[in-house]
Amino acid sequence: MERYRNKEIECMSREDMKKLQDERLVAQVKHVYANVPYYKKLMDEKGVTPDDIRSTADLYKLPFLSKADLREAYPYGLLAKPLSDCVRIQSTSGTTGKRVVAFYTQHDIDLWEDCCARAITAAGGTKDDVCQVCYGYGLFTGGPGLNGGSHKVGCLTLPMSSGNTERQIQFMIDLQSTILCCTPSYAAYIGETLHEMGYTTDDIKLKAGIFGAEPWTEEMRREIEKSLGIKAYDIYGLTETSGPGVAFECSEQTGMHINEDHFIAEIIDPDTGEVLPEGSKGELVFTSITKEAFPLLRYRTRDICVLTREKCSCGRTLVKMSKPLGRSDDMLIIRGVNVFPSQIETVLIEQGYAPNYQIEVDRVNNSDTLDINVEMSDDKFSDMVKDIQQKERDLAAAIKTMLGISPKVHLVPPKTIARSEGKAVRVIDKRKLQ
Chain residues that interact with other proteins, rule: CB under 8 A? 376-378, 381-385, 388-389, 410-416
Q: What is the DSSP string of 331-400?
A: -EEETTEEE-HHHHHHHHHHTT--S-EEEEEEEETTEEEEEEEEE--GGG--S-HHHHHHHHHHHHHHHH
Instruction: Report the nearest approach of other proteins to the CB of residue 410 (Å).
Output: 5
Residues of 3-15 as b/e, b for ≥16 C-beta within 10 angstroms?
Answer: bbbeeebbbbeee
Instruction: Report the nearest approach of other proteins to the CB of residue 395 (Å).
Output: 14
The residue (of 269 and 371) whose beta carbon lies closer to other proteins is: 371
The residue (of 377 and 401) whose beta carbon lies closer to other proteins is: 377
Residues of 132-167 as b/e, b for ≥16 C-beta within 10 angstroms?
Answer: bbbbbbebbbbbbbbbbbbbbbebbbbbbbbeebee
The residue (of 139 and 388) whose beta carbon lies closer to other proteins is: 388
Residue type, 141: T
Question: Is residue 158 classed as helix, strand or coil in its secondary structure?
Answer: strand
The residue (of 271 and 378) whose beta carbon lies closer to other proteins is: 378
Query: How far is residue 24 from each of residues 28, 53, 155, 298, measured CA to CA in Å?
Result: 6, 11, 31, 14
What is the Cα–Cα distance from 434 to 414, expressed in whole angstroms? 34
Residue type, 110: D
Instruction: Report the nearest approach of other proteins to the CB of residue 394 (Å).
Output: 16
The residue (of 305 and 372) whose beta carbon lies closer to other proteins is: 372
Helix, strand and coil in the chain, % to nearest 5: 35, 25, 40
The residue (of 41 and 419) whose beta carbon lies closer to other proteins is: 419
The residue (of 277 and 413) whose beta carbon lies closer to other proteins is: 413
What is the Cα–Cα distance from 29 to 297, expressed in whole angstroms? 8
Instruction: Report the nearest approach of other proteins to the CB of residue 200 (Å).
Output: 37
Instruction: Report the nearest approach of other proteins to the CB of residue 426 (Å).
Output: 19
The residue (of 208 and 399) whose beta carbon lies closer to other proteins is: 399
Question: Is residue 397 classed as helix, strand or coil in its secondary structure?
Answer: helix
What is the Cα–Cα distance from 105 to 209, expressed in whole angstroms? 29
Contact 396, 407 (CB under 8 A): yes
